[in-house]
Structure 1
Amino acid sequence: MKRLNISISNILPIRKAWLGVGLLLALSSCTDLNEQLYDKVSQDDYGKTQSEVATIVGGAYATLRGYGSGTPEGNGVNCYPTCEYVFFTQECSSDEACIPTRGTDWFDGGRYQQYQRHNWDANNTGILSIWRYNFTGVSKVNAIIYQVDKSGLTDEAKNKVKAELRGLRAYYYYNLLDCFGNVPISTDFTEKVLPTNSTRKEVFEFIEKELKEIMPLLPSGVTYGRFTQNVANTLLARLYLNAEVYTGTPRWQDCLDACDKVQGYQLTPNYKASFAIQNEKSPEIIFAIPYDHKQGTVGNYLASMTYHYNQKQAFDPAGVYQWCGNGICAQPGLYSSFDAQDVRRNSLLIGQQYSAKDGSEVLMDNGEPLNYTEEIADFTNAAQNAGARLNKYEWSATDQWERDNDWVLMRYAEILMMQAECNFRLGYIPTALTYINQIRKRAGLTDLTSLTLDDIDTEWKHEFVFEGLRRTTNIRFGTYYNVWWEKPADPADHHTGIYPIPKDELDKNPNLKQNPGYVN
């Protein structure tokens, strides 16, 4: 069983508090920032003591897993968008992954084909899921801050608790800044006025200001599963790394300064240790979402969305492994872009699959061998075995539908890559090489002796394959708008660098304006 090294007395999110919090679950979603939640916050005496407030704060962390109600994103079926719709939309709009239509499977109104071809509109339900996931988190954090303010804690204790909550809210707003740009900023739980858009620059400045203000109040050092100064500085570094995209002004040195403040982590000798079933032991992970099926967590089922239906025969001698959906896979060319000796290539599964019971070839339903191919001959009518599969997180024959691997949001390798890129962009090439070669050495590769932006882009792609960072990297390097597999060049105005505000949200709030380049 996974454990967090934390103490109730310090208002920390213990694992049970991460799981099911009655008060938090009683709060309805407020993704359009319209519905007023303050009348639904418990008005009894709960939340007055330090330990009770700790439980409530743990509930705020639990919002990172998403929600499981029947929604338009899932066609009325329960979904947890962290590892499904949010991840799918981000990855499949990059040059990394795709979800081919396989016969009658995985068409779903054409949304996955829209991701690939960058021809989405305001009705795309995956884009709606990104909006709702993040604004649900914002709304619930605002509600919990409201209750903390009403608690019996001292003002000093309240400010420390609220610092972590504001940090989580800043994380959600960073996602919204990256994906939508011009979004409403809401911090008042009791606000009744329908909000209007803020500019992308204003959202950037809000996140920066929040992170700087809370920094002295956050816990220092390394604490797993908690929003600490290290997490805040990593998020601030991400903000500055992409500042030129977000505001028009590069902030490379500011990114380096934030990276320098992240302390206490190291690369694991084994690359895949950060994605093991018990990956909470990794000294590389800066921030993650804990999962443990024994504790009743739900929402981590990415593995089931990538493997072929009959992959269970290769994983489990009894052939009763959890259901697999045969969906998301790598785009052609990704697997072969890795050097043969690069250990990170094992993040993709390719080739013939063999029975764990007797070593025989696993077959597909049509009787042909289950042999994963890198190539996908027909994106709109793909073979069942087409596409290398996502194989980054460790699996076990005893896996449940809800995996026990914690979902990695930030790890130390990202700090090193940000230091490499920013030093390069500032002209400090030898320094940039020292950072990028640390990454390459762990991957089993020889040191680079010279460096280009293409080299840096490649290392980002290989080091963080299927970690949800690729779309942002594509945009920062300008490759997002290029022609690639099954994708034409984007429109000349590059408006696709942010998503449209979903029509469902525009219909609810007439004060919102659509992003440039899109129609309502």
Structure 2
Amino acid sequence: MKIYNRKLIFTLFVFALCLSGCTNLDEEAFGSLSPDTYYNTEEEALSSVVGVYQALSSVSSIDRPWRLQEYGTDEFVIPGRASGGWFDQDVIDIVTHTTTPVNADVNRGWNSLFQEIGIANAVLESLQASPNRENLKSLIAETRALRAYGYFFAMDLWGNIPIVTVARIDPNNLPATRPRTEVFEFIESEMLAAIQDLPSVTEVNRTSYYPRFTKEAIQGALASMYLNAEVYTGTPRWSDAVAMCNNIINTNAYDLEADVVDNFKSTNEENSVELIASFSIDPTQNAGNNQFILYTNHSPGKAKYNLPFTPANGFSTFPEALNRYENQDNRLLLIEYGPQYYLDGVTPLTYPDGTQLDIIPVQDLVSAADNEGYKVLKYTPIGAAFSGFNADNDLVLMRYAEILLIKAEALVRDGNITPSVSLGLVNEVRERSNATPLGSLTLKDIEDERAREFLWEGHRRRDMIRFGTYFTGTWSFKPNTTEAFRGIYPIPNIQRSANPNLDQNPGYPQ
């Protein structure tokens, strides 16, 4: 059931038309709707805020912001196919850690995130200019949080970025690059301010309020920021990460779903006890889409899952990701590898010529055979409704399992004097998926557990950078040590040409 998007889709469409083409940093952004005549009710205002949610959903969808969080890690690759399909040198450069400032995928990710920030700025200005603004405090806070979330991902990917808080940009005074530490402080202050006027999950009807941000959604974002603070600012914030996690845990409003895949079904969204932040999807109402099955699965998957389209066989994962799981770990069921069968587990899944599909590791990054590349089906097609090749599974941004593992890691890094607390948190996540409980706990155990639990949820690159394995680790197609400067992407040259006030990140060609 998609109460939220169905209710608001028409007004969102109208508002989107008013903002389209006006959100790049080198352009002026003007909304044609007048706050004096528009935001007379909360529903009218909410119809604009939902557009910011849809713009931010790129961080969890198949769009470039999500891909940039996964490219270059040991769990995600899009190999070029021997048929000529999917070959993209820009993708290969990121996978092999040789990205340059002319990379088109990096530029697409930049455009997507700063478009979200631009839309948020326009909506926020309209809300704050409304004569009804005193009754819109929660929506103003919600929009500030959405903008801050966009900045969080931009800061994570590019480090040193401009800070823009206005909808109208003076073309004679374009924004300059700001240091990552300053961006971190801005995001933190915006999120802390937003929390003051957002409702707690304990104060709303979760079914009707879903999937809007609550205090806990922003506390979770801060917990993640604090966990990575040493990377971002040079100063660790372990105790602050624990405090934010405790705020969420102490509500007693969240728990782990019985099965991890329940979080990704199309039928268990607004009633989930684990989801803290997500994006509502309903392609039948032009309210977003989920294309993970389209981009990931093999062509014989059309028959296996009775799909109304032929999957494109693009997104893949490495043996390194597969091999982290124990044989009995239920999370392993999310990965397709080896000989494939129909859902009965007996009937071979075959190509039209009768050959059984046997999925093997990627052998050739440029010219892979059709059956190369293990597949991740996190957003299960079972039970999903499709409109064309778009599924209606909601996109996950944050869930309770992450809060447990953030707290566990922060306690270990902060020298927790009672290691059993961290161990218990990690084992709670492991036992849910039938993994063997750990008897002791190291940081390597935590990194591996996060990789198992959050496969393809957009965390791996950030995690590998925090643990250092992004630079020192070796895996398929990444045999060498990575230079430290590649912990952030280059500022795209096309953006610097449009705005000469943007400085290139150190290490990249100036």
> Structure 2 stretches of 5 or more lacking a match?
none
Instruction: Name the stretch that deviates more: 471-480 or 271-280.
Output: 271-280
> Structure 1 stretches of 5 or more lacking a match?
5-12, 67-79
Partners of 1:96 and 1:423 in 2: how far apart? Answer: 26
Instruction: Name the stretch that deviates more: 495-504 or 213-222.
Output: 213-222
Q: Within 5 Å, which residues of 2 pair with 1:226-265?
A: 226-262=212-248, 263=251, 264-265=253-254
Is 1:167 paired with 2:116?
A: no
Is 1:311 paired with 2:297?
A: no
| 1:211 maps to which of 186, 191, 195 | 191
Corresponding residue for 1:485? Answer: 476
1:298: how far off? Answer: 3.2
Instruction: Name the stretch that deviates more: 208-217 or 102-111.
Output: 102-111
Relative distance call for 1:438 and 1:43 in structure 2 (3 A) is closer
1:196: how far off? Answer: 0.3
Corresponding residue for 2:263? Answer: 274
1:501: how far off? Answer: 0.8
Partners of 1:54 and 1:491 in 2: how far apart? Answer: 45
**Identical counterparts, % of pairs:** 35
Corresponding residue for 1:183? Answer: 161
Relative distance call for 1:48 and 1:151 in structure 2 (3 A) is farther
Relative distance call for 1:423 and 1:459 in structure 2 (3 A) is same
Q: Give per-residue Cα distances to partners, 1:252-309, cap 9 Å, x unaligned.
A: 0000001111131110111211011123121100010111223222332011111112
Q: Within 5 Å, which residues of 2 pair with 1:117-196?
A: 117-154=96-133, 156-192=134-170, 193-196=173-176
Q: Within 5 Å, which residues of 2 pair with 1:6-85?
A: 15-17=7-9, 20-30=12-22, 32-38=24-30, 40-42=32-34, 45-66=37-58, 82-85=61-64
Corresponding residue for 1:3? Answer: 3
Partners of 1:19 and 1:246 in 2: how far apart? Answer: 38
- Report SS of the residue matched to 2:386: coil
Instruction: Name the stretch that deviates more: 128-137 or 221-230.
Output: 221-230
1:385: how far off? Answer: 0.8
- Report SS of the residue matched to 2:278: strand
Relative distance call for 1:253 and 1:2 in structure 2 (3 A) is same
Partners of 2:56 and 2:7 in 1: how far apart? Answer: 13
Amino acid at match of 2:52: A
> Retained in 2: the 8 A contact 1:41–1:143?
no
Is 1:197 paired with 2:177?
A: yes
1:17: how far off? Answer: 4.5
TM-score, length of structure 2 as denominator length:
0.91
1:117: how far off? Answer: 0.4
- Report SS of the residue matched to 1:385: coil
Corresponding residue for 1:113? Answer: 92
Alignment length (residue pairs): 493
> Retained in 2: the 8 A contact 1:21–1:56?
no
Relative distance call for 1:486 and 1:55 in structure 2 (3 A) is same
Partners of 1:157 and 1:294 in 2: how far apart? Answer: 32
Corresponding residue for 1:376? Answer: 362
- Report SS of the residue matched to 2:365: coil
| 1:502 maps to which of 480, 486, 492 | 492
1:22: how far off? Answer: 0.7
Q: Give per-residue Cα distances to partners, 1:140-164, cap 9 Å, x unaligned.
A: 010011111232314x324332111
Q: Within 5 Å, which residues of 2 pair with 1:315-330?
A: 315-316=305-306, 321-330=308-317
TM-score, length of structure 1 as denominator length:
0.89
Q: Give per-residue Cα distances to partners, 1:75-117, cap 9 Å, x unaligned.
A: xxxxx99323232332121111111111144454412211210
Partners of 2:400 and 2:272 in 1: how far apart? Answer: 10
- Report SS of the residue matched to 1:334: helix
> Retained in 1: the 8 A contact 2:142–2:198?
yes
Corresponding residue for 2:375? Answer: 389
Corresponding residue for 2:326? Answer: 339
Amino acid at match of 1:487: K
| 2:423 maps to which of 433, 445, 448 | 433
Higher relative contact order (Cα pairs below 8 Å, separated by 6+ residues): 2
Relative distance call for 1:19 and 1:118 in structure 2 (3 A) is farther
Partners of 1:250 and 1:243 in 2: how far apart? Answer: 5
